[in-house]
Amino acid sequence: MNAPTRTAPELFDLTGHVAVVTGGGRGIGEGIATAFAESGAAVVVAARRTDEIEQVAATIRDAGGRALAVTTDVTDDDAVEALAQAAVDEFGSLTDWVNNAGGSPMRMPLQNLPREEWDRTIALNLTAVYVGSMTAARHIERGSIINISSGAGTGPVPGSAHYGAAKAATNSLTWTLSAELAPNIRVNGVAPGAIPTEVMLQAVGKNEDQLDSLLEEWNIPLGRLGTPQDIGAACVYLASDAASWMSGEIIRVGGGAKPR
Ligand code: NAD
């Protein structure tokens, strides 16, 4: 075996990376943006709510990192192209793109779901991932794309057929794009388990004070709900050279596999 030329911490270091994180203003996206910045990357934080992304970018800069906030609706193709261009203009290149913006606030049997929510969910959770990935592929010379998926994309979740269908299709995009964009761009996914964020709590009809009951209901083997940092750490790994031999994989980060 050849002697390793870099240490493990060097492999996980993101210095020199420039990463776009969509939906980076709060929740999981904020966790990903923060983890990237802490690992040395310059981060472009994108979402529709300007006050939230400005706050995340300011916190990163206050901690000594590099960050830019770009107000973006990921369902607007022109805005997504402008986002990529803003990253290159500010930091000189683009190396990583995290398609994180997503979710659906509605959980109900498909027969009751308003048609508009079906269309909105597909636009945000699938079409925007396609557009984001194609935009990233035009701008990234060498780097990676990470798609935030969900367990709803790999099995039945009653009440989430619309969301699960979009996430399953996103998994398929991850697999096929990993082959089409190799060897210069790696494409992977992360499927988070239960992370109490705004959209998640809305979907399950709970509030911040009911987290204990959620934990009990879901019986998570590792004994706690997830945090945005749990997902940020997995994304740092996937973007880093530590994962340089990995593409087309979807990592589940969800508090342990439940016994059957
Ligand atoms: P959240 O509501 O806390 O954050 C969603 C982010 O996406 C926000 O910053 C919001 O502004 C942004 N966003 C929404 N629509 C947008 C649009 N059209 N354009 C740009 N930005 C937009 O939700 P979250 O739980 O952090 O979700 C992040 C991702 O994680 C989603 O893809 C979601 O499906 C996935 N996920 C979450 C959980 C969970 O338990 N929280 C589990 C599995 C998967």
DSSP letter for each residue of 63-113: TT-EEEEEE--TT-HHHHHHHHHHHHHHHS---EEEE-----S----GGGS
221 cis-preceded (ω within 30 degrees of 0): no
CB atoms within 10 A of CB 141: 9
CA distance 95 to 66: 15
Residue type at 81 in one-letter notation: E
Measure the CA–CA gap between 230 and 49, rounded to whole angstroms. Answer: 24
Choose which residue among 150, 199, 253 to substitute to test ligand 1 binding: the one with the highest number of ligand atoms within 8 A of its C-beta. 199
Say yes or no: CB of residue 99 within 6 Å of ligand 1. Answer: no
Q: What is the identity of the amino acid at 182?
A: A
- Do 33 and 43 touch, CB atoms closer than 8 A? yes
pLDDT at residue 141, rounded to an integer:
98
Pocket test for ligand 1, best of 200, 214, 215, 217 (most atoms within 8 A of CB): 200
Strand, helix or coil for residue 182: coil
Whole-number Å distance, alpha carbon 198 to ligand 1 midpoint, is 8
**What six digits make up the tokens of 98?**
């995290």
CA Rg value for the chain: 18
Nearest alpha carbon, ligand 1 atom 39:
195
The pLDDT, as a whole number, for residue 1 is 60
Cβ–Cβ < 8 Å for 211, 224: no
Report the Cα–Cα distance between both ends of the chain, in Å, rounded. Answer: 40
Helix, strand, or coil here: 43? Answer: strand
Ligand 1 proximity of 215 Cβ (cutoff 6 Å) = no
Mutate to test the pocket of ligand 1, among 26, 28, 208 (most ligand atoms within 8 A of CB): 28
Q: CA-to-CA distance for 27 and 29, rounded, in angstroms?
A: 6
Ligand 1 and 232: CB distance under 6 A: no
Of the residues 163, 187, 230, 251, which is catalytic? Answer: 163
Token pair in block for residue 38: 């802490």
Q: Is any ligand 1 atom within 6 A of the Cβ of residue 101?
A: yes
Q: Is 163 a catalytic residue?
A: yes
Task: Using the mean position of ligand 1's atoms as its centre, give its distance from the Cα of residue 121 in Å.
Answer: 11
**Residue-range domain boundaries for the chain:** 8-249
How confident is the model at residue 53, as a pLDDT? 98
Could you tell me the distance, in angstroms and rounded to a whole number, from the CA of residue 26 to the centre of ligand 1?
Answer: 8
Question: Which residues of the chain fall below pLDDT 70?
Answer: 1-3
**pTM (two decimals):** 0.97
pLDDT for residue 192 = 97
Give me the pLDDT at residue 162, please: 98
pLDDT digits (tens, 9 = 90+) for 14-37: 999 999 999 999 999 999 999 999
8-249: CATH superfamily: NAD(P)-binding Rossmann-like Domain (3.40.50.720)
Q: Which atom of ligand 1 is nearest to the CA of 152?
A: 43
Instruction: Tell me whether residue 1 is exposed, middle or buried, using C-beta atoms within 10 angstroms of its C-beta: 0 to 12, 13 to 18, 19 or more.
Output: exposed
Nearest ligand 1 atom, CA 101: 7
Structure tokens at 11: 């492999």
**Quick check: bond before 183 cis, omega within 30?**
yes
